[in-house]
């Protein structure tokens, strides 16, 4: 911009301010577009939070590890029952039993419901579904999105949620962790778990209890070989990955605990991040889009190392 073509009005305005034209042009060039990368790079430490180790779930499998953050505000009884199962090391030695293309990966006891089923010890065998909760008391940060499954959508403590103005619920975005169930609404108890590994199956919202989301290592589940049986179930024990262990973060040795930090969703910085994902100003984009779906936001997580 060595020879900017400025209108007479702008020239007069700059002369009144006594600003050199080349300086004004230089300042204009230095304004960087708002992009997801620039928002993260310019964030401060106060824009990030360290999750509670007692609410982190470490899944270790023969194909790699995954870390989940639990959401007791939305499904307290399922979180409680899951912790009981984990404390009893119920999942150790079980397997991934299902990997359905563009849908979910699921794990649990392949002998459940038979005489060979593994004992669930002190865990409650059946729980009422916690499919939604009252909106009152939830610190919900709404985003602008034309969502087909909820009147409004946004984030609560980092979790993607929908609401109808009275109720609110966790949504089936990529990485969402849920409790499998049968036909009866109280037939799940967190002994059988699944995680969304494909396109968000939002039609499941309010029909299955969700109580967490993957914050690291989800690729180790989404890349599993697809099951050849109906709905992606593995037909032989040899097909599925083995679950080595599941532990709470608080039970992991201190030097092995996760050092993850998650961007807070109640800040101006996160609003900027959503805006940068809505209006794509990155150099590659030819059209800014100017629209965003809830599951396309993706709450940023700082670099993590799973040991």
| pLDDT for the residue 297 | 97
Which residue ranges form the domains of the chain, and what is each CATH number?
52-126+171-258 (2.40.100.10)
Please calculate the CA angle 124-100-97 and round it to the nearest 5 degrees. Answer: 45
| pTM score of the predicted model | 0.87
Q: What is the pLDDT of residues 226-235, one digit of tens each?
A: 999 999 999 9
> Nearest Cα to 155, choosing from 67, 45, 71?
71
- pLDDT of 54 higher than 50: yes
Label residue 1 by pLDDT band (50, 70, 90).
very low
Mean pLDDT value across the chain: 90
Helix (H), strand (E), coil (C) string for the chain = CCCCCCCHHHHHHHHHHCCCHHHHHHHHHHCCCCCHHHHHHCCCHHHEECCCHHHEEEEEECCEEEEEEECCCCCHHHHHHHHHHHHCCCCCCCEEEEECCCCEEEEECCCCCCCCCCCCCCCCCCECCCCCEECCCCCCEEECCCCCCCCEEEEECCEEEEECCCEEEECCCCCEEEECCCCCCCCECCCCEEEECCCCCHHHCCCCEEEEEEEECCHHHHCCCCCCCHHHECCCCCCCCEEEEEEEHHHCCHHHCCCCCEECCCCHHHHHHHHHHHECCCCCCCCCECCCCHHHCCCCECCCCCC
Which tens digit of pLDDT belongs to each residue from 202-221? 999 999 999 999 999 999 99
Residue pLDDT, tens place only, 151-199: 999 999 999 999 999 999 999 999 999 999 999 999 999 999 999 999 9
């Amino acid at each position: 911009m060595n020879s900017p073509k400025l209108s007479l009005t702008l020239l007069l305005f700059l002369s009144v301010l006594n600003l050199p034209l080349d300086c004004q042009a230089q300042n204009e060039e230095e304004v960087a577009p708002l992009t997801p990368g620039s928002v993260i790079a310019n964030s401060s430490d106060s824009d990030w939070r360290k999750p509670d180790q007692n609410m982190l779930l470490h899944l270790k499998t023969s194909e790699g590890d995954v870390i989940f953050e639990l959401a007791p505000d939305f499904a307290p009884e399922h979180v409680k029952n899951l912790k009981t199962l984990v404390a009893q090391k119920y999942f150790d030695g079980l397997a991934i039993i299902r990997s359905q293309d563009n849908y979910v990966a699921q794990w649990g006891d392949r002998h459940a419901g038979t005489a060979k089923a593994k004992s669930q010890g002190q865990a409650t065998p059946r729980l009422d579904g916690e499919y939604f909760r009252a909106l009152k008391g939830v610190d919900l940060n709404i985003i602008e999105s034309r969502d087909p499954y909820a009147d409004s959508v946004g984030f609560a403590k980092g979790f993607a949620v929908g609401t109808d103005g009275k109720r609110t619920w966790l949504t089936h975005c990529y990485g969402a962790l849920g409790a499998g169930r049968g036909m009866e609404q109280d037939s799940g108890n967190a002994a059988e778990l699944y995680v969304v590994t494909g396109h968000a199956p939002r039609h499941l919202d309010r029909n299955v209890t969700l109580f967490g989301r993957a914050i690291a290592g989800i690729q180790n589940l989404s890349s599993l070989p697809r099951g050849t049986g109906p709905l992606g179930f593995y037909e032989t024990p040899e097909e599925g990955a083995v679950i080595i262990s599941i532990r709470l973060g608080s039970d992991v040795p201190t030097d092995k605990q996760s050092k993850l930090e998650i961007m807070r969703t109640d800040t101006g910085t996160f609003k900027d991040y959503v805006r940068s994902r809505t209006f794509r100003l990155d150099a590659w984009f030819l059209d800014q889009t100017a629209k965003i779906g809830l599951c396309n936001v993706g709450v940023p997580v700082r670099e993590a190392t799973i040991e």
